[in-house]
Amino acid sequence: MKKLLLICLVAISLLQAKNSVEFKFAKKDFQRKNPTNQNYILSYNNILKDARTSVVSISTQRTIKSGGAYGNPFLRRENTMPQATMGSGVILTKDGYIVTNYHVVNGADKIKVSIAANKKEYEAKLIGTDAKSDIAIIKIDAKGLNAVTIYNSDKVKVGDIVFAIGNPFGVGETITQGIVSATQRSEVGIVEYEDFIQTDASINPGNSGGALINSAGHLIGINSAIISKTGNNVGIGLAISSNMVTSIATQLINKGKYTRAYLGVGISNVSEDMSSFYNNKFGALIISIETDTPAAKAGLKRGDLIISVDGKKIQSGNELKNIIGSYPPSQVVNIKFLRNKEIDIVNVKLGSLDKKVSSDSLDYKGLSVITLDSQLQKLLKINANINGGVLVKEVKEGSQAQRTGVIKDDIIIQIESYEINTIDDFKSATSSQKRKRIYIFRRGSIFAIVL
Residues annotated as catalytic (active site), given as ranges:
103, 134, 208
292/289 Cα distance (integer angstroms) = 9
Which residues, in sequence order, are CB contacts of 359 under 8 Å at separation 6+?
A: none
Alpha-carbon distances, residue 141 vs 109, 173, 275 (angstroms): 18, 22, 54
Side by side, the strands of the sheet bearing 120-123 are 120-123, 110-115, 55-66, 79-91, 97-100, 135-139, 125-130
Q: How many CA atoms lie within 13 A of 432 on its CB side?
A: 7
Apex CA 65: angle with CA 63 and CA 66, to 5°? 135
Strands (E), 253-389: 261-262, 265-268, 284-289, 305-309, 312-313, 332-339, 342-349, 351-352, 361-364, 367-371
Alpha helices in 60-213 (DSSP H): 102-105
111/127 Cα distance (integer angstroms) = 12
Closest CA to 184 of 198, 202, 200: 198
Write out the DSSP string of 69-81. BTTBTTS---EEE
